[in-house]
Amino acid sequence: MKNILFLFLLATFLTACANKEQPDNTATKETGVTNPIAPLNPNGDSELALLMRKMEKQWQDTKKNLEAGQTIHDVPDFHDLLTATPTDESMTMDGFKGYATSYLNKIKALQNTKGNQQKTAYNDIINGCILCHENSCSGPIPRIKKLLIKE
């Protein structure tokens, strides 16, 4: 019985994350009926989801600059990660804070790195994204892997 409940929860959880890019999911989200806990933004996306897209955009730009041989000076601070409201509370359970903190520390490490080491420090950050996603929300992982710089 416990196993069934677990599978059910797991299925709901995985679907919530995997369906992110399908527009037909938006309608349900906007009604708020399936999701009374997390306050949603007017466009139906959670604070955390919006922050994720902002981070993705930021690292896409950083990747381009590093690949062009530039040195990164200003590294953004994504501390909102620790407080942003997720689509579903289950997404930020179990270890989320730990993964988030470790990811934020990797950003600081990039800030303190110079020259050729920056690419490695950058990839460390992206691996920090992937680590958390393996444990919280596996849907976007293929998308995140595109951010890695091939060395």
Residues that bind ligand HEC (CB under 6 A): 17, 20, 46, 48-49, 52-53, 55-56, 59, 86-87, 91-92, 96, 99-100, 103, 128-129, 132-133, 136-137, 140, 143-144, 147
Distance between CA atoms of residues 18 and 9, nearest Å? 14
Please, which residue, 2 or 91, has the CB nearer to ligand HEC? 91
Q: State in angstroms the smallest separation of the CB of 16 from ligand HEC.
A: 7
Please, which residue, 6 or 97, has the CB nearer to ligand HEC? 97
Longest dimension (CA), the chain: 57
Distance between CA atoms of residues 135 and 131, nearest Å? 7
Q: State in angstroms the smallest separation of the CB of 110 from ligand HEC.
A: 11
Please, which residue, 30 or 56, has the CB nearer to ligand HEC? 56
Distance between CA atoms of residues 40 and 148, nearest Å? 31
Please, which residue, 1 or 22, has the CB nearer to ligand HEC? 22
Q: State in angstroms the smallest separation of the CB of 1 from ligand HEC.
A: 28
Buried b (16+ CB within 10 A) or exposed e, 29-67: beeeeebeebebeeebbbbbbebbeebeeebeebbeebe
Distance between CA atoms of residues 123 and 111, nearest Å? 13
Give Cα 55 distance to the centre of its chain.
Answer: 8
Please, which residue, 8 or 57, has the CB nearer to ligand HEC? 57
